[in-house]
Amino acid sequence: MFYRSAMTNPSLRQLDIFAQMVAAGSLTRCAQTLGVSSAVIERDMASLEMRLGYRLFDDIRGAARLTPAGRRTAQAMTLLAQDDPEDWAEEAAPRREYRRTGDSPAAFP
């Protein structure tokens, strides 16, 4: 997947609903699983597709058929979910460096 300058970050909610849609296989089952209306799922998936800049599903009504881009997105999410969160935390943690700016005790009265 490549970076699009117009792309805004999708929300975790949208990504979660996308994952639920893939797992459920249909809009109706996804809505029932999440306890929301089908309209909510449709709205969030349309918004996610707009943010990403490509379609995830060929047809959201009935069986949820992934587009090739939708399959790649689902595969990427699966790989991301398999990563150990501790590895991410280590890489994201800021590193502190302490530098000595002078040896003079007068600098700190």
What is the tens place of the pLDDT at every residue in 34-92?
A: 999 999 999 999 999 999 999 999 876 778 899 999 999 999 988 877 777 676 666 66
Sign of CA dihedral 47, 48, 49, 51: positive
What residue ranges define each of the domains in the chain, with the CATH number in brackets? Answer: 12-87 (1.10.10.10)
Write down the pLDDT at residue 12: 86
Write down the pLDDT at residue 48: 94
Q: Determine the Cα–Cα distance for residues 90 and 9; give it in Å rounded to an integer.
A: 23
Residue 33: pLDDT over 60: yes
Write down the pLDDT at residue 21: 92
CB burial of 3-31 (b: ≥16 within 10 Å; e: otherwise) equals eeeeeeebeeebbebbbebbebebbeebb
For the chain, the C-alpha Rg in angstroms (whole number) is: 22
Write down the pLDDT at residue 109: 52
Residue 1: pLDDT over 50: no
The residue that leads in pLDDT, 59 or 22, is 22
